[in-house]
Amino acid sequence: MAEAILKWHGGDGFRAYSAGSHPTGRVNPLALEQLRMRGYPTDGLASKSWSRFAGPDAQPVHVLIGVCSKVVAERHPAWPGNPVEAFWELRSPGMFEGSDIDVRAAFAQVCEQLEAAVKALVALPLDQLDADAAGRCLQPRVTP
């Protein structure tokens, strides 16, 4: 969800990619549903490994934002470009268990949190962007 939201709100100022350490091979249909309901384009979204964005031939990464607490604990590749790293510790809606209504509500909540955080991120002056500023984009909006 973060990739689509940042591509939309970031315009030409950002190139956004979403990736993880253990991609499932498909984008969660409920994530796509949330994005479409909010008017975000979903064409080209795919499940990707973060190793695709590391290594000697990778393009420099300027800002890296982890969006779930699991990422904080994982060992990740050395990113080219010495990026600003921040973590938006959101619960992973794909791991949420409950009724269909509850799971959809979890996806909606995370999507709303991502929208607010991304809008705050793209409003920051890029020349002053650091990990603290990027991290604060989400902090006041997280609900337990």
Q: The pTM is what?
A: 0.84
Q: DSSP letters along 70-92, please?
A: HHHHS--PPPTT--EEEEEEE--
CATH code: domain of residue 26: 3.40.50.2300
Residues 85-110 have pLDDT tens digits of 888 888 888 888 899 999 999 999 99
Task: Please give the tally of structural domains in the chain.
Answer: 1
Residues 123-135 have pLDDT tens digits of 888 777 777 877 7
User: What is the rounded distance in angstroms from the CA atom of residue 24 to the CA atom of residue 55?
Assistant: 21
- Contact between residue 1 and residue 111 where contact means Cβ atoms under 8 Å apart: yes
Pull the structure tokens for residue 65: 């934002």
Pull the structure tokens for residue 134: 């990027």
Q: How many CA atoms lie within 13 A of 119 on its CB side?
A: 7
**Range name among 46-60, 70-84, 99-113 with the lowest pLDDT average:** 70-84
Residue 49 structural domain: 2-141
